[in-house]
Every structure is written in structure tokens, then in C-alpha cells.
Amino acid sequence: MSQTAQLGHPRGLYLLFFTEMWERFSYYGMRAIFVLYMTKALLLSAASASNIYGSFTGLVYLTPLLGGYISDKFWGNRKSILVGGILMAIGQFCLFFSGGLVVPGQASQSAVAMMWVGLTLLIIGNGFFKPNISTMVGQLYPQNDHRIDGAFTIFYMGINLGAFFSPLICGGLGEVFDANGEHIPTEFKWGFLAAGIGMVISTISFEILKNKHLVDPDGKAIGMPKQRMDMKTLGVIVGSILLIYALLNYHNIIELIAGTEAVNTEGSTAHAIANLDLIGYLIYSSMIIMPLIILTDKSLTSVERQRISVIFILAFFVIFFWACFEQAGASLTIFADEQVDRAVKIHISKYIILIGASALVFYLAKALGWFFEWSKKSILSIQIIGIAALLVLTFTGTITDFTKNDFPASWFQSVNPLAIIMLAPLFTMMWGKLSKMKMEPPSPLKMAMGLALVSLGYVIIAYAVHGVDPSVKISMFWLFALYIVHTMGELCLSPIGLSMVSKLAPVRLSSLLMGTWFLANAAANKFAGTLSALIPPGAGEAPATAAKIPSFLGVQIDNLFIFFCVFIVLSGAGALVLLAIYRRLIKMMHGIH
């Protein structure tokens, strides 16, 4: 039986598209309200919430190293994705229970403790899920197949389709306001519950359809188990779960051992130890150690070693891109909540949003050739069940009256994925036409363009806040403009990067190198949290004293204009350096572009 679907792509691509779409719905839905949940419900400071956000998202991209290794050596892609999906679903439900423990106006330790459990399971589960589903996209095609770039762009549309409607649903359910326009802290849990439902849909649909559609060009099953796992490796997995939990709870553990007074006393040994950023040390050191381990593998040929070196060099520049781009879930969400005028007179309910998002799912699924043969009934049933569950959740939740309250800050995070859904086909057509004219930029040059565009986005928002008093809120359209420009930068860099790793990596190391590529995202996200913590006080906050004004590389960050200039310089400098060396990188790729 032919495995070619509409648009000339294997049918397995659309299974992976759908699976990843719902998983991204789960992750981005949770991410859209995570910082707000910590600041509004758990009563953490913006700096503390930013650092936790950076540690969480950083570890999310670190654990694919473990998941890639386990998959390559033992479980294979399929089993790893199943285990990861189950762990992440449980993790989201733990966050739901954490929200249920919130006490309005009080710092609830039990809610924080349950949050740590949920984050730990999300981190480990993502480690098994993320590198393996991305790797399977490349395995569906023959080597050097010209369709691979297009396949990753389609796959990337699935990611962003889930990322588009998840902030609308999870944010619409979680960000509920009282009569004074203040967040109701007990409502965030419903957003986490919706995220958990999305993860369940992703896992079930993958399990039902994987045997029929996940095959290589010769019809052989891909992602099958390699060998039985020994007890030693199983112990490593359990140990990793405990280690992640301990790292997230590091400060509390030191406090338990040394006592609260010792930890809070400046200058004490306990205080110094408790304030060590162990997660940062772990992530940044891994960014150095893993390339050394892989590049010293004696089985690598000279050509393989040079190609792998290109992956690591470009991964370094990716850190600067994502550290600036990932402010969306951290400082830009805080900025949107405090400094953006969101009081728009629109009357739109969550019902309309949910129906519109569902219609978009079905439309794109049909357009991409998803509905075929017996899978039509199976996948349709799964979608109906999942969407029905979200409908029940929406109808039983509190409906926000947008004629009296502000546009939720979390909804801004839907601008980027919506722009990707609209612009991705245009970029695919553009690369295709340039390729026919033999003018298509090579991957390293596309990445330089991506860095330049993210720098331009911050130029726009820096201009908007320049000279504006912190008590005055800016128009939301400035933030829309930033996200749209950033989207164009993302389309130049992210799907091209995934495709490049798939093509440059030796097959025997494909999952491990995909995990290493995500390691750059780990460093970037951790760095993003560190940078987000530099955001100065906004409207309604007490101004920082001179002793507490944050600084970066000797520059004091005492206003939003300087804060955004940090990102202009970081991404702009990265673009210029990559532009200067991209021709050398092309030679090291030995004919793969």
C-alpha cells in the first residue's frame, strides 16, 4: 500500500503532526499562565517567578539528553513517546491539584509543594517525548529527500496550531478577574486541567495509530525498541526524577537541614549554599561536556565530525535567539500584565474561542490530508471526546465579561503561533521559489536572519517605551508588532534548525544529537529566566532602591528602555557574528544544506 498522502508526504507525518499539536497545546497552555499563577496565586515576586520559569523551561530542554539516550539504546521512539506522554499528563494534573490548594491572599506551602511534583513530572516526561517525536519525522523519508524541509515546516505548523489555541482556552479558563479587575487566584487550576486533557488526547491518538502509519519508505516500522533495559539504566531514570525534584526544591531542602534563620542570614554558609544556582551550573556545564563527549567518539569519520561540529556551533547562536525570544512566557507576560493597556471593549466569550479553535483544527487537518482510510473515524472520535471535555470544562468555568475586564495577558502568547500558521506556507513557498532560482540562503544564513529579526522586534518595543513614564501604559499593538516580527525570525531559524540536525546527524546518533540540539534551548531558557528577572518595577509597584536596581554586564537596568536594549544587543551581535562565519560553516557541512 502506498504511504504517500496528500501534498506528497507520508501519512505518518500527519500522525506526528496531530500528536505534537496536542502535546504543544498542553505545554503552551500551562506556560501561558505559569508566571501569572506564581505571582498572582502563589504570591511570589516577579524575580522569583522568572527564575523558577527559567529553571523549569531550561530543564525541560535538558532532559531530552536522557530521553534520547534511552531511546537510542533501549526503548526506541515509540515507547519513549508513550512513557513521556503519560508522565506529562500526570504532571499537568498535579498542577491542577496545586491550584486547588491555593488560599487567596496567603502563601500556600502545600500548593507550592504540589507544583514542584508537577514540574518534575513534566520535565522528565518531556525528556522522553520531545526528541523522539522530532526524530521520527526525519525517519519517514529517504536520506537527502528534498521534502524534509517542507515536512518539518508542516510539523512546525502542528506545534503552533496547538500553541495558538492553548493560551486562549487555558488562559481564558485560568485568568479570571473579579469586579475590580484583579485575578481570582483559585481559578488558575482550570487552565492546568485543560492542559492535562490535551496531553491525554495526544498520548491516546499516538498509541491507536502508530502501528499503521509510522513506517519508513520501504514500509518497515520505525521507532521500534532496540533491546531490554537493564536494572542499572532503570535506576538512572528513577535517580534522574529524584535529582530533578531535589534541584527544584534545593532551597527548601537546605532550609530544612540548616534551619530558616541560618538560610536567611546574609553572609552565612547556609545562605551562600542555598543561593547557588545549581540548575544553571548543570545546564551550562552540560552544554560544554556533551559536545566534547560526542566529538571524541572514535567511530566518527572526519566528515561526520565536521558536520556534527556545525550543529554545535549553530547551537551556540541558538542560545541567544531563544533567550530573547522566550521572554514571551516570562518578562513579556509580566510586561503585558502591568504596562500594556488591555482595556479593550470587546464582547467575546470562551465559547466562541473554543468553537473557532476547533474548526481551525478540523480545517487544517483536512487540508493537510489527515482524514484518510479507517483512521478518519478513530481520530475524529478522539478529537470529539477531547473537545467535548474541554467544552464541559469551559461551560462549568467562570465566564469572563470582557466589557468590564481587561484582555487577558496570557492571550498575547497566541499572537506568535497564529502568525506562524498564516506565514509558514508563505515562507515555504518563498524558500521553494528561491531554491528553483538557486538563490535559497543556506541554513546558517537563515539563522542569522532570524537573529536579526528578533533584534528588530525589541527595537520596536524599546521605541514604544522610550521616555514613557512607568505609570503610563502603552498600546497593545506595539506588543502585537513585536510578536509578528519575532515570528518571522522564528520561521527563519527554528524549523530550519530541526531539519538541519536531522540531515547532518549520523543515523546511529540521531536522537542523541537531537537531544543535544535541545540542550542549546535548555541553556537559552535558563538564560531567559535570568534575563527576565532583570525587569524593573512597573505600574503599581514600588520603585526599586539604588541597592536593588538589577544590572547586566555592569549596566544598571533601571527602566524598560534599557531592559529591552539588552535583548537588542544580544540578538543583534549574534546575527553579525554568524553572518561573518556562515561561509566557513557551509564548507564544513560537505554538501548538505
Each residue of 401-441: pLDDT tens digit? Answer: 444 456 788 889 988 988 887 887 788 788 878 888 888 88
Strand spans (E) along 465-593: 474-475, 551-552, 555-556
**Which range among 174-183, 460-469, 525-534, 556-565 shows the weakest confidence by mean pLDDT?**
174-183
Residue 347 has pLDDT above 50, yes or no: no
Provide CB contacts within 8 A for 140, sequence distance 6+: 9, 10, 12, 13, 151, 214, 215, 216, 217, 222
Average pLDDT for residues 552-564, to the nearest whole number? 85
Report the first-to-last Cα separation within the chain, whole angstroms: 32
In the three-class reduction of DSSP (H, G, I as helix; E, B as strand; rest coil), residue 63 is classed as coil
Q: What is the β-pairing status of strands 340-341 and 474-475?
A: parallel
Mean pLDDT of 397-403: 45
The average pLDDT across 433-457 equals 89
Q: What is the pLDDT of residue 353?
A: 55
Q: How far apart are CA 497 and CA 489, in angstroms?
A: 12
CATH architecture for segment(s) 11-588: Up-down Bundle (1.20)
- Residues 26 and 252: their CA atoms lie apart, in Å, by 28
Residues in the chain, how many?
A: 593
563 or 502: which carries more pLDDT confidence? 563
Q: How many C-beta atoms surround the C-beta of residue 377 within 10 A?
A: 10
pLDDT given at position 130: 82
Residue pair 592/444 in contact (Cβ under 8 Å)? The answer is no
Count of other CB atoms within 10 angstroms of residue 109: 11
pLDDT of 2:
42
What is the signed CA dihedral for 46, 49, 54, 60, rounded to 10 degrees? -150
* Most confidently modeled range among 42-46, 490-494, 497-501, 524-528: 524-528
**Cβ-based neighbours of 468, under 8 Å, separated by 6 or more:** 474, 560
Digit-coded pLDDT (tens) for 53-76: 999 999 988 888 788 778 878 888
Which stretch of DSSP H or E encloses residue 475? strand 474-475
pLDDT-based confidence at residue 539 (cuts at 50, 70, 90): very low
Per-residue pLDDT at 196: 94
**Percent of the chain scoring above 90 in pLDDT:** 26
* pLDDT, tens digit (0-9, with 9 covering 90-100), for 170-200: 888 888 887 777 888 999 999 999 999 999 9
> Which position has the grid cell 520501504?
218
Q: What is the pLDDT of residue 282?
A: 85
Collect all residues with Cβ–Cβ distance below 8 Å to 8 and sequence separation of at least 6: 147
345: alpha, beta or left? (left if phi > 0; alpha if psi -120 to 50): beta
Residue range 557-568: average pLDDT? 91
Confidence check: pLDDT of 580 > 60:
yes
Cβ contacts of 34 within 8 Å, gap of 6 or more: 53, 56, 329
Q: Scanning the structure block, which residue is given the C-alpha cell 483512521? A: 375
Which residue would you say has higher pLDDT here, 344 or 561?
561
Tell whether the model's pLDDT for residue 375 goes beyond 70: no
**Please, which residues bridge with residue 14 across strands?**
none
Mean of the per-residue pLDDT values of the chain: 80
3-state secondary structure of 405: coil
Is the model's pLDDT at 482 over the cut of 50?
yes
113-128 average pLDDT score: 93
> Structure pTM?
0.83
Strands (E), 135-246: none
Q: Which residue has the cell 505545554?
A: 27
Q: How far is CA 397 from CA 188, 189, 201, 497, in A?
A: 11, 11, 21, 40
> Residues 456-467: what's their mean pLDDT?
93
- Closest to 65 (Cα-Cα) out of 230, 232, 290, 359: 290
Higher pLDDT, 213 or 338: 338
What nine digits make up the cell of 17?
Answer: 503532526
Between 371 and 425, the higher pLDDT residue: 425
CB 19 within 8 A of CB 206: yes
Q: Quote the CA–CA distance of 164 and 362 in Å, as a whole number.
A: 14
Half-sphere exposure of 293 toward its Cβ, with a 13 Å CA cutoff?
11
Torsion angles phi and psi, residue 225, rounded to 5: -60, 150
pLDDT at 363: 54
pLDDT of residue 3: 45
Q: For residue 13, which of 125, 150, 126, 144 has the smallest C-alpha distance?
A: 150
pLDDT at 299 over 70: yes
pLDDT given at position 547: 52
Grade residue 235 by pLDDT with cuts at 50, 70 and 90: confident
Residue 106 confidence (pLDDT) above 70: yes
Q: What is residue 552's three-state secondary structure?
A: strand
> For 23-62, b where at least 16 C-beta lie within 10 A, e where not — what string?
bbbbbbbbbbbbbbbbbbbbbbebeebbbbbbbbbbbbbb
Between 271 and 104, name the one with better pLDDT: 104
Rounded alpha-carbon distances, angstroms, from residue 44 to 38, 47, 544: 6, 8, 17
Q: What is the pLDDT of residue 501?
A: 81
Could you tell me what percent of the chain has a pLDDT over 70? Answer: 81
Least confident of 7-21, 252-266, 330-344, 478-492: 252-266
